């Protein structure tokens, strides 16, 4: 029995990793030194209008002083794969330059921590912690990189991968449409970011996916540049 | 061999009654036309100098690597595999102020400027944006790819518990920030039956041994501070001129990069031109050193301006030989030309002896005829040694054989027939006094002490020979400049790839044949090495034969009621996590695909990459490559398997090293055969007495043992170049030995002992000049020659006379 349980656990972990690594494998398989066949992509540097650039620069400047972020979140996912809306509640922590923690409290406790370019994952169901270099998991790396750019206000950088427009100026709402050359364009249709009236931070992110799925990420109780408790970076996370 | 024979005097070993009348006639005929001869030679020299511009110097690696079937096959594979004809540009950020995006922008701008004819393609990641779609499409081929064990695994999961567990796992994936990416895969493969294929793809990708990330179509290092471009060029590796134009073009384009970006060019092409340039520089340097040393030596010793011609003659001979050899061979190995200084050093001896003869007796035919025979015999033994190099497995040594043979033959002819016509008799009273080698000079060490001391040294050398190790590293043949090697070191530090895998090559007339052969071999290979250690294309794309079988098995599996059962279980347990009714429709929609009749899945660009890495199209068919760790046990295991499957062979660095070791060992055996059989026989033939022959062989044995003992003593390793140099040492040492025994036995008063010494010095100078060479092969040849020649000469001068006096001197002879 113990053996079977162990096998099951291992199998679970394996699948969790496999599914998450799906894209990483794809990407890595193209990374073979001598195994590539296409022409290099064209210069992807984004062209944005002066008005948009001014807004992005202003927001980026405002958020450039950000050293840490702590916020509660509610993520509402409308997914075709589910017959009802999936609502995640939890906390998000960012510490510059490269630490990120994503703790989901409901419907199931799940934690993801990026520290020193290592990805740690834990979930309440399996109670197992997985650890792997972030670079070995390109989809997660890409997702985390994007998250860090959104949350840190590096919008000029994002304009390389997205066409940016200003939907509303007060409070500011930006719309990002992935450029066709970007891998994100195959998944994401558009992303809208709404800022707080004081423009100090994001209020909400709306993601519209190509397949019709959508996600809203609403921030609450956001605290900027405050000392983050060390326990946040622990995995498995402390009991609530 | 190198002429150390007495330039004059009677000899019982060289019968004086041989009168080459034809020689006197020829000598006289040239003497009557000496100025027209000089003009003719001058014209030939000018022509040879002009001809140098058209000489093709071949720096091809193949020419200097010992060849056997395995080495030849490996080298041919590497040459034809296209892998070596690519150029890699590795870019780095030199300032922390700049970011990865700055770097990638610069790289993109540069990529735009790289155009044909020099660069035909920039190999990159064209379809990164389509990767997800392509991979999902590829999963639709799973029924053709998955084998029986995968279905067995699937069968175990089609249970209430199995599906329940899978649904929970799938739901957890929705909680991660990367869920948008994973959802399509969950829908297409709710049980994860097909994702094993993706794991196999991952294994295939890592078989390259490099650490890369792909970001927006760029190859980026893990630290995000470096980027890479892989370029395809039509310039072949062996085209030195084309390579120069290519590198010059690239360097010109690279100048446009901003200052914060550093670039390393990594290409096998660089080694081609660098080796050629290093050897050319070595040849220039060694010729200058030899020229200066010879001029000083001849002018200082002979105090006669005409003595310069002793040196000019071999120089002219080498010059002409380069032209003739290149004409006959189509090109000439750079290593052969690099030995020019050594050849000059050896060939100068003929001039020294004829010069001494003329100096003492005048330029008449009789003076020259007196030395012609011993000089010719010496030259013939030298030619014999060099000519024997045609039996070497190193093609470059065949070039050396022809080059040295022509040089020595021309030099011999010049020394005997032409140079003496311009020399005059002169004062010889300044030369050191005569002494007899069969008598011990007063005040000298007792003979038994000298012999005992020699015995200790030789035994010591013998002891050290136990530590001789072969240098089987392929890099030993690479004389490229340090900057190139340093750039490669930086490249590997950033990108990894030092431990490249070994390759199992399966050949077939058709792709299907090659794939089937690979499948046949891979069963045994994976049993020996394990699945993880044997990366094969058929794990993700089997042969048509296997794919047909797999598809039939898949269809039977699901049609046996499992499709309906799984649908019911997914409905039941999926609802526990609110999975919608059509959540897994993509899986059922693609359940019964048609057989793919084409060789490859069409429209998937990433498969083009795999083809490039795993399949080679040849004129005679296809080669399918599989990768495994390049360690001794794996290579040994796979070699054994390969031996039982015709059409397969192994390409590995360690196997190549072993093959080179084997080839060097064969060369060593060959050298030993010469030393052990031919040289004693020749010596016996010349000296006609066993005791004398045995003593004459002492310098050969001594020099060989001292060379072999010095190799480990000075931390060196035995390589193919040292073996050939040792062969030359054997030839030189036997000459010294024969001469000394000859001098002792004939009680010669060697008035020209200085000439013998100068002969040795010229050889050491020629070989010693190679110690200034930058090319490792030339340097090791120089080291071996200097050690060997000195050992042979010193043994001849000091030990041979003592041994003769102790052991072989006829009873009643005088003894000092």
Are the Cβ atoms of B205 and A29 closer than 8 angstroms?
yes
d(CA B80, CA B507): 14
* B345, B411: one domain: yes
**Cβ atoms of A117 and A98 closer than 8 Å:** yes
Contacting A residues, span 198-237, partner chain B, CB-CB under 8 Å: 207, 209, 211, 213, 215
- Which residues, including other chains, have CB under 8 Å from residue B123's CB and lie 6 or more apart? A36, A37, A38, A40, B86, B229, B230, B231, B232
- Is the CB of residue A5 less than 8 Å away from at least one CB of chain B? no
Judge if B781 and B815 occupy the same domain: yes
Note whether A37 contacts B608, CB cutoff 8 Å.
yes
Question: Which two structure tokens, joined as six digits, stand for A175?
Answer: 């719309």
Split at pLDDT 50, 70, 90, the class of B308 is confident
Model confidence at B204: pLDDT above 50:
yes
Which superfamily, per CATH, for A2-25+50-233?
Lipoprotein localisation LolA/LolB/LppX (2.50.20.10)
The closest of B671, B48, B103 to B324, measured between CA atoms, is B48
Sequence ranges of the domains in chain A? 2-25+50-233
Query: Does residue A6 sit at the B interface (CB-CB below 8 Å)?
Result: no
Question: Which residue, among A16, A26, A189, A209, would best test binding to B if mutated, counting the most B CBs under 10 Å from its CB?
Answer: A26
Q: B701 and B793: one domain? A: yes
Whether B695 and B664 share a structural domain: yes
- Do both B356 and B449 map to the same domain? no
Name the residue of chain B whose CA is nearest to A161's CA.
B216
What integer pLDDT is reported at residue B716 of this predicted model? 86
pLDDT interval class at B257 (50, 70, 90): very high
Give the residue from B84, B132, B181 with the most A CB atoms within 10 Å of its CB, the best one to mutate: B181
| Largest Cα span, chain A | 66
Range of the domain at B813: 441-470+653-750+770-816
User: How many Å lie between the alpha carbon of A80 and the closest alpha carbon of chain B?
Assistant: 7
Picking from B112, B129, B205, the nearest residue to A28 by CB comes out as: B205
- Strand arrangement of the beta sheet that strand A202-209 belongs to: A129-133, A118-123, A110-115, A99-106, A86-95, A68-78, A214-224, A202-209, A188-195, A172-178, A162-169
Cα(first)–Cα(last) distance of chain A, in Å? 32
Flag whether residue A87 sits within 8 Å of chain B, measured between CB atoms: no
Specify whether B420 is located in the same domain as B461: no
Q: How many CB pairs under 8 A join A and B?
A: 258
Average pLDDT by stretches of 10, chain A with 240 residues: 44 39 34 30 45 83 85 94 94 87 92 89 91 78 79 77 86 89 80 89 91 92 90 85
Question: pLDDT band at residue B16, thresholds of 50, 70 and 90?
Answer: very low
User: Residue B368 has what pLDDT?
Assistant: 83
Nearest residue on chain B to A121, judged by CA atoms?
B176
CA distance B503 to B630: 8
C-alpha–C-alpha distance, residues B175 and B55, integer Å: 71
**Which one-letter DSSP state was computed for residue B498?**
S
Within the 31-70 window of chain A, which residues sit less than 8 Å (CB to CB) from chain B?
A: 31-45
Give me the residue from A8, A26, A41 closest to B135, CB to CB. Answer: A26
Kindly state whether residues B688 and B746 are assigned to the same domain.
yes
Q: Is residue B182 situated within a structural domain?
A: no
Cβ <8 Å between A186 and B132: yes
Percent of chain B with pLDDT over 90: 32
Characterise B443 by phi-psi region: left (phi > 0), alpha (psi -120 to 50), beta (else).
left
Q: What is the domain count for chain B?
A: 2
Cβ pair A112:B173 closer than 8 A: no
pLDDT score of A120 = 93
Beta bridge partners of B508: B622
CB neighbours of B667 closer than 8 A, spacing ≥ 6?
B66, B392, B393, B394, B720, B723, B724
Instruction: Answer yes or no: do B457 and B317 share one domain.
Output: no
Q: Which of B426, B459, B488 represents a domain boundary (last residue)?
A: B426
Which of B360, B391, B426 corresponds to the end of one domain? B426
Same domain, B699 and B725: yes
Listed in sequence order, the DSSP H helices in B117-206 are 131-139, 142-145, 148-157, 160-173, 179-188, 195-206
Q: Is residue B284 part of a domain?
A: no
The interface pTM score, or ipTM, of the predicted complex is 0.78
Percent of chain B with pLDDT over 70: 89
One domain, residues B660 and B802: yes
H helix and E strand count, chain B: 33, 12
pLDDT at B129: 56
- Give every CB contact of residue B286 below 8 A, 6+ residues apart in sequence: B338, B340, B341, B769, B770, B772, B773, B778
Give the pairing type, strands B332-333 and B57-58: parallel
Judgement on whether residues B397 and B453 belong to the same structural domain of the protein: no
Confirm if A119 and A133 have CB atoms less than 8 A apart: yes
Over 60: is that where the pLDDT of B1 sits? Answer: no
Q: Look up the CATH number of the domain holding residue B318.
A: 1.20.1640.10
Report CB contact under 8 Å: B186, A19.
yes
Nearest to A160 among B101, B204, B612 (CB): B101
E strands within chain A? 68-78, 86-95, 99-106, 110-115, 118-123, 129-133, 162-169, 172-178, 188-195, 202-209, 214-224
pLDDT over 50 (residue B12): no
Does the residue B99 lie in any domain? no
Cα of B474 to nearest chain A Cα, Å: 21
- Tell me if A19 sits within 8 A of B192, measured CB to CB: yes
**What are the DSSP calls for B428-497, one per residue?**
-TTSPPP-BTTSPPTTSPPHHHHHHHHHHHHHHHHHHHTT--B---GGGG----HHHHHHHHHHHHHHB-
Q: Decide if B125 contacts B227 (C-beta within 8 A).
A: no
My answer on whether B714 and B799 are in the same domain is yes
Mutate: best of A22, A84, A148, A178, partner B, most B CBs <10 A = A22
**pLDDT for position B409:** 93
Whether B315 contacts B327, CB under 8 Å: no
């Amino acid at each position: 029995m113990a053996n079977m349980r162990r096998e099951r656990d291992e199998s679970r972990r394996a699948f969790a990793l496999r599914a998450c690594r799906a894209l990483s494998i794809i990407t890595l398989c193209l990374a073979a030194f001598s195994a590539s066949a296409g022409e290099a992509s064209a210069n992807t540097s984004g062209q944005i209008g002066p008005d948009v650039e001014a807004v992005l620069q202003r927001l980026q400047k405002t958020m450039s002083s950000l050293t840490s972020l702590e916020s509660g979140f509610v993520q509402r996912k409308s997914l075709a794969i589910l017959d009802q809306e999936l609502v995640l509640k939890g906390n998000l922590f960012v510490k510059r330059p490269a630490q990120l923690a994503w703790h989901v409290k409901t419907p199931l406790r799940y934690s993801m921590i990026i520290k020193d370019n290592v990805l740690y994952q834990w979930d309440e169901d399996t109670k197992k912690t997985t650890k792997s270099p972030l670079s070995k998991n390109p989809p997660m790396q890409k997702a985390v990189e994007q998250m860090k750019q959104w949350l840190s206000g590096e919008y000029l950088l994002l304009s390389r991968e997205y066409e940016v427009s200003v939907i509303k100026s007060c409070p500011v709402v930006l719309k990002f449409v992935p450029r066709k050359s970007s891998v994100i364009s195959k998944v994401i249709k558009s992303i809208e970011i709404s800022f707080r009236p004081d423009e100090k931070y994001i209020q909400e992110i709306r993601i519209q996916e190509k397949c019709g799925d959508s996600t809203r990420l609403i921030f609450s109780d956001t605290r900027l540049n405050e000392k983050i408790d060390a326990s946040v970076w622990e995995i498995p996370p402390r009991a609530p | 061999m190198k002429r150390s024979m007495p330039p004059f005097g009677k000899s019982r070993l060289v019968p004086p009654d041989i009168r080459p009348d034809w020689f006197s006639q020829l000598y006289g005929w040239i003497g009557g036309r000496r100025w027209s001869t000089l003009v003719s030679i001058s014209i030939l020299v000018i022509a040879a100098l002009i001809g140098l511009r058209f000489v093709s110097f071949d720096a091809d690696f193949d020419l200097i690597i010992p060849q056997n079937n395995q080495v030849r096959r490996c080298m041919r594979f590497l040459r034809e595999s296209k892998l070596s004809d690519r150029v890699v540009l590795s870019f780095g950020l030199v300032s922390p102020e700049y970011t990865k995006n700055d770097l990638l922008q610069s790289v993109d701008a540069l990529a735009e400027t790289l155009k044909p004819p020099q660069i035909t393609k920039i190999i990159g990641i064209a379809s990164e944006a389509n990767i997800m779609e392509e991979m999902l499409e590829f999963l639709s081929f799973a029924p053709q790819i998955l084998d029986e064990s995968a279905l067995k695994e699937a069968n175990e999961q089609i249970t209430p518990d199995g599906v329940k567990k899978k649904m929970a796992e799938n739901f957890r994936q929705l909680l991660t920030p990367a869920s948008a990416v994973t959802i399509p895969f969950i829908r297409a493969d709710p049980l994860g039956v097909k994702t094993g294929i993706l794991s196999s793809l991952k294994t295939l990708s890592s078989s390259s041994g490099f650490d890369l990330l792909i970001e927006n179509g760029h190859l980026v290092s893990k630290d995000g501070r470096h980027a890479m471009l892989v370029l395809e060029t039509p310039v072949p590796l062996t085209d030195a001129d084309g390579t120069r134009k290519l590198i010059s073009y690239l360097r010109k384009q690279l100048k446009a990069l901003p200052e914060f970006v550093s670039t390393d060019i990594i290409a096998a092409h660089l080694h081609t031109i660098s080796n050629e340039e290093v050897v050319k520089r070595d040849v220039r340097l060694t010729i200058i050193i030899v020229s200066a040393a010879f001029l000083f030596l001849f002018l200082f010793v002979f105090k006669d301006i005409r003595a310069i011609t002793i040196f000019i003659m071999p120089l002219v001979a080498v010059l002409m030989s380069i032209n003739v050899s290149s004409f006959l061979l189509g090109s000439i190995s750079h290593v052969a030309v690099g030995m020019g200084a050594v050849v000059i050093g050896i060939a100068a001896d003929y001039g020294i002896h004829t010069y001494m003869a003329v100096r003492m007796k005048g330029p008449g035919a009789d003076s020259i005829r007196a030395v012609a025979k011993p000089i010719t015999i010496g030259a013939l033994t030298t030619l014999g040694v060099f000519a024997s190099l045609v039996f070497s497995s190193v093609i470059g040594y065949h070039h050396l054989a022809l080059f040295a043979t022509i040089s020595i033959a021309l030099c011999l002819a010049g020394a005997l027939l032409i140079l003496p016509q311009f020399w005059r008799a002169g004062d010889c009273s300044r030369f050191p006094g005569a002494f007899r080698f069969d008598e011990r000079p007063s005040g000298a060490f007792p003979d038994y002490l000298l012999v005992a001391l020699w015995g200790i040294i030789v035994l010591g050398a013998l002891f050290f020979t136990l530590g001789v190790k072969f240098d089987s590293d392929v890099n030993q043949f690479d004389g490229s400049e340090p900057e190139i090697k340093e750039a490669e070191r930086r490249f590997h530090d950033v990108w990894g790839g030092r431990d490249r895998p070994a390759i199992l090559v399966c050949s077939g007339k058709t792709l299907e044949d090659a794939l089937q052969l690979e499948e046949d071999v891979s069963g045994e290979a994976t049993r020996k090495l394990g699945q993880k250690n044997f990366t094969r294309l058929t794990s993700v794309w089997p042969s048509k034969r296997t794919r047909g079988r797999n598809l039939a098995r898949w269809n039977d599996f699901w049609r046996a009621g499992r499709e309906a059962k799984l649908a019911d279980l997914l409905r039941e347990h999926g609802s526990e996590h609110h999975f919608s009714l059509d959540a897994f429709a993509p899986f059922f929609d693609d359940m019964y695909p048609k057989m793919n009749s084409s060789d490859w899945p069409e429209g998937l660009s990433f498969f083009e990459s795999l083809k490039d890495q795993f399949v080679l199209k040849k004129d005679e068919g296809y080669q399918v490559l599989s990768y495994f760790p390049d360690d001794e046990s794996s290579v040994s295991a796979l070699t054994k398997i390969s031996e039982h499957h015709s059409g397969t062979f192994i390409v590995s660095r360690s196997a190549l090293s072993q093959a080179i070791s084997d080839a060097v060992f064969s060369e060593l055996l060959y050298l030993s055969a010469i030393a052990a059989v031919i040289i004693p026989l020749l010596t016996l033939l010349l000296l006609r007495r066993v005791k004398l022959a045995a003593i004459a062989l002492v310098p050969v044995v001594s020099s060989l043992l001292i060379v072999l003992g010095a190799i480990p003593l000075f931390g060196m390793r035995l390589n193919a170049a040292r073996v050939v140099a040792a062969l030359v040492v054997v030839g030189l040492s036997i000459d010294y030995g024969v001469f000394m025994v000859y001098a002792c036995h004939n009680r010669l008063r060697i008035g020209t002992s200085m000439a013998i010494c100068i002969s040795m010095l010229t050889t050491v100078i020629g070989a010693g000049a190679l110690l200034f060479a930058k090319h490792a092969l030339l340097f090791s040849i120089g080291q071996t020659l200097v050690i060997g020649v000195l050992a042979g000469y010193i043994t001849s001068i000091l030990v041979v006379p003592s041994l003769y006096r102790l052991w072989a001197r006829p009873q009643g002879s005088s003894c000092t």
